[in-house]
Structure 1
């Protein structure tokens, strides 16, 4: 018997529309209606259900085809259990988070990920190009940072200008280059100074870059880079390597 992994599914919590879509299916018996109520496409609603199902490890929605009503969808027992837990989870979170800076800090700390770079940001613009959305963000120090995500992901997150977000990327996706590098950097460019460096000729020098405003970014420079503490550098990361998370 497969045990549900509800804690994994609740990792999305109420920070995006996945739980809302599941709740809509339970209320209306229709995936398309749940999609309309959540203001996302039918495809995005199916993606939401598939993601939650993968995370939970058990079916959450079952479909009925044909019949007098033309078919529809219903929550499984596990789907109903997940919604009950989601409500309790959100109530507990509201009770703990009393507002202000402490609330924002707790929301950021609730995210568990292997990505070492986690930067608080504010969504400043959404640029749509076909099926891809370029999400422009502003860091607290004023630097700009952009991410490229699918239209469905943007819908499910409910992204809008002015929203608080967290920009994440792996340290291995960040290239640290000298300011006077001959090759013009491509992608996001964050200027700062070398705070710490761990030299490794084989895997590359791991560099901690101090940005304005107290933020830090971890990345890698070519092995034997010769970089030194307090040297001005640029941390470069491709827009497609930036992941967006929303505080709970």
Structure 2
């Protein structure tokens, strides 16, 4: 008799922020708990672990953002001074842990639902979660699968299928291809900086750049020198380019105008999410 497989374990990190900046996260809460246990910032920093300076910087930041001090320090006396968690600090830690537990229960419920989804839908959802976890400064991020690999003496040309309509090409070194474990069928995320994307308005223009995505201008954010132009590629996809404000004027770019986003294979950075 085959036992049903256990639902995937989803875990996350609770990060509490204020308008003034980051407030509480797992590292800071563990630091507070260690201060409460040891009564010493030095011992607490070693337990987390953090440098002594980083620990005090974190304490100062939390105290500045809190309505009441979370940590108090004392100097001198028979014990030679120390650090203690205030009553307010203990309440804040308890509240954070309660919120964390509730957050985990929500993730557990999501995992149980995921386990009962059709296999294809469940796998698709898991891939989406992994992709959303990727953070990068590149404005253009395209998820797809490797459809072809062309190995040269030094480099490897990687063709990535985004959907039924769109593909893009990238060139990486053989060493990078090996480190990423690239193979036909591998899932990858292709990233392109907006400053590396050129815009063209004439689809008969002959240029050497391999990657050309055509769409319509959906948004233009003007600046004194440069402008950010977003193209709607259809099917929920978009491409962003940063060009000069003069180029926007001379090309006659405006919302609804057809244009192409063009970028070289060497401008594509590939990432693999394990």
- What's the TM-score, normalizing by structure 1? 0.57
Which residue of the partner structure matches residue 241 of structure 1? 267
Deviation, 1:132, is 0.4
Q: Which of the numbers 206, 225, 230 marks the counterpart of 1:202?
A: 225
Judged with a 3 Å threshold, the aligned counterparts in structure 2 of structure 1 residues 232 and 200 are, in CA distance, closer, same or farther, namely same
Structural mapping, 1:110-129, within 5 Å: 110-129=133-152
* Deviation string, structure 1 residues 114-148 (Cα, Å, up to 9, x no partner): 11111111101011111100101111242120111
Q: Which of the numbers 153, 159, 164 marks the counterpart of 2:187?
A: 164
Superposed CA RMSD = 2.3
Structural mapping, 1:19-168, within 5 Å: 99-168=122-191
Gaps of 5+ in 1: 1-94
Q: Which of the numbers 212, 221, 237 marks the counterpart of 1:189?
A: 212
Higher relative contact order (CA 8 A, sep 6+): 1
How many residue pairs align between the two structures? 154
Larger radius of gyration: 2
SS at match of 2:254: coil
Deviation, 1:104, is 1.1
* Deviation string, structure 1 residues 185-222 (Cα, Å, up to 9, x no partner): 6231111111101123522x211111132111111234
- Tell me, yes or no, if the aligned pair for 1:191 and 1:234 is still in contact at 8 Å: yes
SS at match of 1:120: strand
SS at match of 2:245: coil
| More displaced stretch, 216-225 vs 118-127 | 216-225
- What's the TM-score, normalizing by structure 2? 0.52
Separation of aligned partners in 2, 1:234 and 1:130:
32
Separation of aligned partners in 1, 2:207 and 2:222:
24
- Tell me, yes or no, if the aligned pair for 1:185 and 1:236 is still in contact at 8 Å: no
